Structure 1
Amino acid sequence: MADEPGIFEIMYSTRAMRRLKPDPIPEDTLKKIIDAGIRCASGGNMQDWAFIIVQDTERKRFIRDYYWNTWQQMRGGGTLNYDDMPAPQQRMLNAASHLAAHMDEAPALLLACTRDHYPPIASMGNERASRVVIYGSIFPAVQNILLACRALGVGATLTTIHCFFEDQLKEKLHIPNDMEVAALIPMGYPQGKFGPVTRKPVEEVIHWDEWGNTRA
């Protein structure tokens, strides 16, 4: 335990790892990662989540094909214009293209699923509040999973492009109609190294007491 990185070191070095080795991840490691994920709070402690670990080659290729086609449409349609982006973003998109093309080579694809509504609030007719609760429950679990991956030396990244083919994905994996796939997380031991992440200065994102009241 003494040699394990501390929580702040993990937070400050959890990069999106998009170039992954095909080496298998032990089942005990996968279970430990998910178990850490579900330590988070959930709305009303409903724990209305489920996690599908896709390791089967044919199913991974199915996901890769849809993901890659969607990615190509985004690039071809001008949604992602490399020429207008600074070099760091171009490098990020190159890595994202690599992931899209080679997603099936990752040893595990994790689907984080949640109920598509929160019954106590949905019954009141406030759809927005219901969805805030369900996403406010599943995404803390997703972040816990990413941090647990980092702590155990497993590379991972949060993706959401599956939303463009969620119906086909749910049919293929027999996901119930009242469940949503909130995140698709490719997992594998990284080809690169973990390291510091670059973010805006914290002073630029804090507003004190009201919007626009910042401090240098």
Structure 2
Amino acid sequence: MEFYTVIEERRSVRSFRVDPIPEDVLLRILEAARKAPSANNFQPWKFIVVKDEERKRKIADFCMGQNFIAEAPVVIVACGLPTPSRIGGYTTSMLVDVAIAVEHLILAATNEGLGTCWIGAFDNTKLKRLLGIPDEIQVVAVIPVGYPLRKGWKTPRKELEEIVCFEKYED
């Protein structure tokens, strides 16, 4: 798929077919996440790939009961690793870096004909306990991945004039 077509086609998908994701396809989308840029090249991420049905059901429960998550053949939990602070730097770079990697993964999944949904509402403590995630590691996102049962709907976007300023901030 052409790059801008991938961006245009990406949707939040909340219903999935039962078809498994071929391992080579799964590895390609994970490879896309691995190649994401990060501050100081720290690459402060770890991705947990979950296929076990019972574990996916628990993840869905811990994501405020969003049961469609468990219907996906794969759920990927994106974690952020602690990074050293730099003088003059900012403390949110890990979150930004993981977000960039997740977006790479999501766009790669779209290119492969897969659907995803970025989940940010979850019980961090329960997820960490379920998946054996150490205290110092932060769960950043839960991403169900699978072939869409239905194409997600296109949501409205603001016009460029509403979101872009040139040279200085303007209302």
Fold-level match, TM-score > 0.5?
Answer: yes
Quick check: 1:102 aligned with 2:60?
no
Name 2:90's counterpart in structure 1.
129
Quick check: 1:38 aligned with 2:4?
no
TM-score with structure 2 setting the length:
0.91
Give the fraction of aligned pairs with identical amino acids, expressed as a percent. Answer: 32
In structure 1, give the amino acid aligned to 2:23: E
For the 8 Å contact 1:13–1:195, the answer to whether it is kept is: no
What do residues 103-160 of structure 1 show as CA deviations (whole Å, max 9, x unaligned)?
2121011111111x32133xx6x8x922x21112111111111100110000001110
CA distance in 2, matches of 1:139, 1:152: 20
What do residues 151-203 of structure 1 show as CA deviations (whole Å, max 9, x unaligned)?
000000111011xx111111111112211110100111001236765311111
In structure 2, give the amino acid aligned to 1:153: G
Q: Structure 2 residue aligned with 1:120, among 85, 91, 114?
A: 85
For the 8 Å contact 2:14–2:152, the answer to whether it is kept is: no
For the 8 Å contact 2:16–2:148, the answer to whether it is kept is: yes
CA distance in 1, matches of 2:164, 2:103: 21
| Deviation, structure 1 residue 12 | 1.4
TM-score with structure 1 setting the length:
0.73
Name 2:101's counterpart in structure 1.
141
Alignment of 1:44-55 (within 5 A): 44-55=40-51
Alignment of 1:186-201 (within 5 A): 186-193=144-151, 198-201=156-159
Q: Which runs of 4+ in 1 moved over 2 A?
A: 193-198
**CA RMSD, Structure 1 to Structure 2 (Å):** 1.9
CA distance in 1, matches of 2:14, 2:21: 16
In structure 1, give the amino acid aligned to 2:57: R
For the 8 Å contact 1:170–1:176, the answer to whether it is kept is: yes
More helix by share: 1
For the 8 Å contact 1:50–1:114, the answer to whether it is kept is: yes
Q: Structure 2 residue aligned with 1:183, among 132, 141, 145?
A: 141
| Rg comparison, structure with higher value | 1
CA distance in 1, matches of 2:93, 2:69: 30
Quick check: 1:21 aligned with 2:21?
no
CA distance in 2, matches of 1:183, 1:14: 17
CA distance in 2, matches of 1:29, 1:208: 40
Structure 1 unaligned runs (5+)? 72-99
In structure 2, give the amino acid aligned to 1:38: R
How many residue pairs are counted as aligned between the two chains?
171
CA distance in 1, matches of 2:5, 2:49: 27
Quick check: 1:63 aligned with 2:54?
no
* Secondary structure at the counterpart of residue 119 of structure 1: coil
